[in-house]
Amino acid sequence: MNKNSKVLALKYRPKTFKDLIGQEIIAETIYNSIKQNRAANAYLFTGIRGVGKTTIARIVAKALNCKNGIENLCKEKFCENCEEISNSNHIDIFELDAASRSSVENTKELIEFSRYAPTSSNYKIYILDECHMLSRQAWNSLLKTLEEPPEYLKFIFATTEIKKVPVTIISRCQRFDLSRVNSAELFKFIKEVKNKENGKINDEALKLIVKISEGSVRDALSLLDRALLSQNEKSELDLKEAQKIFGYFEKSYLINLFKFLFKGDEKEVIKIYRSIYNQGVEPKIFLNDFLEILYYVKNISSIKQEGTNFSLNDKEFNDIDLISKEVGPEILLLFWQFTIKTLSELDVVSNQNLSMEMFLIRLLYIKKDINIDNKKNEILNQEKYLENNIQKEQIDIIKDEINIETKNKTISQIKNFTQEETLNVERKVEDELKKVKIINFEELINLCDEKKELKLKYELETNVSLVSFTDQKIEISFNENLDKNFVKELSSKLYEWTGKRWIIAFSKEIGKLSRKNKKKEEKINMIEREKKGDIYKKITDSVPDAELIDIKLNYDD
């Protein structure tokens, strides 16, 4: 323990199990196990930052090796072992950072060194902080040693991310989950520290520190350290000054903002937000506090105002309770989703302040839209209620009036209806005349050319081989170059051109040659046939190196 340290988190670090706050059950369990000589081979401590994982590890190391025994564990006047453990320079106690020693080679060195018995203490102890950083290979190399270590060897692991630690390791350790420290207990502790440091900070400011620290003792002491350094020697640090120091603002501002937000008063909403922003509050902090108030408004009926929770004072609690009675849950849930979405998109915007103002304006309009929808639903429900409760005679009268009106409209519209029907028949006849009939595969290719569907034409000529062609059914085989949308496009066009549904089926049989390949084969046959003719022989007699490579037909001849 460094008594000269000005950092409160180190200066007031617990020295014995009795000094620990918020972890009494864990401390008692470990104390009893060591006292009864039944200490575990390996301990695993997990929890959020600043709740005492490394501190408990050091206390366990001292309890196992203290020369005065566990019942008289050193607190003020340290024995040689406790002094060296507190200063992190004991020869048999190794406090390692797993992040910088995560490889399997480091673990092998550790295991190799563990074979040697302790030199000046009862146990050789390895404390691995942030052990989730170890690689899987490093963990695997530790398995056997953890399960059956020498009698003098103990492992203590600490981590904030227990899910990253392999299950095979957890099963070989005695696991302890360290909880967040209770608000009242943490308040009492930092108030004692404040008094020891002769600090002038009122209770409301201390409660704010407890709230911001979220159950972390180290965070609370770091914030207290900051408050003590910034305080004026002549005056006491109050809540308002503490809020400025920590970039925090009063919930009353935000609760008033909610009141005007639900009333739909845009001018007041923006005015309150700007006053909050001018206090130096970051948009992300504002949004997180906004979510917190949303949570309270939605669940205020199930929350008790207790002395162990410093999130709300009595006035804030009552104000939120009044708001919750005027707002429906559907609006609150929609606001929650929208705020979460805005929080995730905040880094994309260059001017976050403007983004916050637009966020609040959008919430105002969302609220208006929901109110309009609710009013419409109320009107519809009233209409249904009235309709169901109208007397039968009134319904009959209404029906008669409707029938008379319908008859008059029908008589006046007969002529228009017959004229419209005639036009529809004429249109159908024109559409039918436009339909075409496709008899064979060649006609289909020619039709594609005529309709300017050049892509379909290319696929039919190049990548498709015909197996069979009947009315409304085409069976084909194809090569790997065929477009994946070919069948869909061809079916659509065939229906458009013919007015009928066609079936395009794939066959395992090898179809006829495609038009392109057929033309190639015909040209090859023609070349071979001409090579056997008299003209080719005369040319090769005169020019021995001549080669016939192409033939062009003269269709006029």
The model's pLDDT over 374-407, given as tens digits with 9 standing for 90+, comes to 544 544 454 454 445 544 444 454 455 555 555 5
The residue count for the chain: 557
What percent of the chain shows pLDDT beyond 70? 82
Phi, psi for residue 286 in degrees, rounded to 5: -60, -45
Residue 547 above 90 pLDDT? no
pLDDT for position 553: 63
Predicted confidence band at 369 (pLDDT cuts at 50, 70, 90)? low
For residue 530, give both structure tokens.
């001409």
Average pLDDT over the chain, rounded to an integer: 80
Residue 432 above 90 pLDDT? no
Q: Are strands 464-470 and 473-478 parallel, antiparallel or unpaired?
A: antiparallel
Query: 183-246: which CATH number, 1.10.8.60, 1.10.760.10, 2.30.30.30, 1.10.10.10?
Result: 1.10.8.60
What is the average per-residue pLDDT within 277-292?
84
pLDDT for position 313: 66
Listed by start position, the domains of the chain span 8-177, 183-246, 251-370, 441-512, 517-557
Predicted confidence band at 45 (pLDDT cuts at 50, 70, 90)? very high
Predicted confidence band at 515 (pLDDT cuts at 50, 70, 90)? low
Phi, psi for residue 533 in degrees, rounded to 5: -85, 170
Residue 65 above 90 pLDDT? no
CA 294 → CA 282, 283, 297, 329, distances in Å? 18, 16, 5, 10
- pTM given for the model: 0.57
Question: Given strand 93-97, what is the order of strands in its sheet?
Answer: 93-97, 124-129, 153-159, 42-46, 174-177
pLDDT for position 514: 67
CA 48 – CA 104 distance, rounded (Å): 27
Q: Which of 156-165, 174-183, 461-470 has the lowest mean pLDDT?
A: 461-470
Say if CB 193 and CB 227 are below 8 A apart.
no
pLDDT for position 499: 82
Q: Which residue has the higher pLDDT, 252 or 308?
A: 252
What is the average per-residue pLDDT within 415-424?
50
Residue 8 above 60 pLDDT? yes
Highest mean pLDDT among 135-149, 166-180, 285-299: 166-180
Residue 124 above 60 pLDDT? yes
- The one-character DSSP state at 76 is S
Q: Report the first-to-last Cα separation within the chain, whole angstroms.
A: 113
pLDDT for position 30: 92
pLDDT for position 312: 67
What percent of the chain shows pLDDT beyond 90? 13
CATH fold of the domain at 8-177 = Rossmann fold (3.40.50)
CA 488 – CA 472 distance, rounded (Å): 15
The SS3 assignment for 369 reads helix
Q: Which residue has the higher pLDDT, 42 or 235?
A: 42
Say if CB 96 and CB 128 are below 8 A apart.
yes
Query: 251-370: which CATH number, 1.10.3720.10, 1.10.1380.10, 3.40.50.300, 1.20.272.10?
Result: 1.20.272.10
Highest mean pLDDT among 163-177, 349-363, 538-552: 163-177
Residue 236 above 60 pLDDT? yes
Residue 324 above 80 pLDDT? yes
CA 430 – CA 119 distance, rounded (Å): 106
pLDDT for position 175: 93
Q: Which residue has the higher pLDDT, 43 or 230?
A: 43
pLDDT for position 154: 92
Q: Which residue has the higher pLDDT, 52 or 541?
A: 52
Assigned CATH for 441-512:
3.30.300
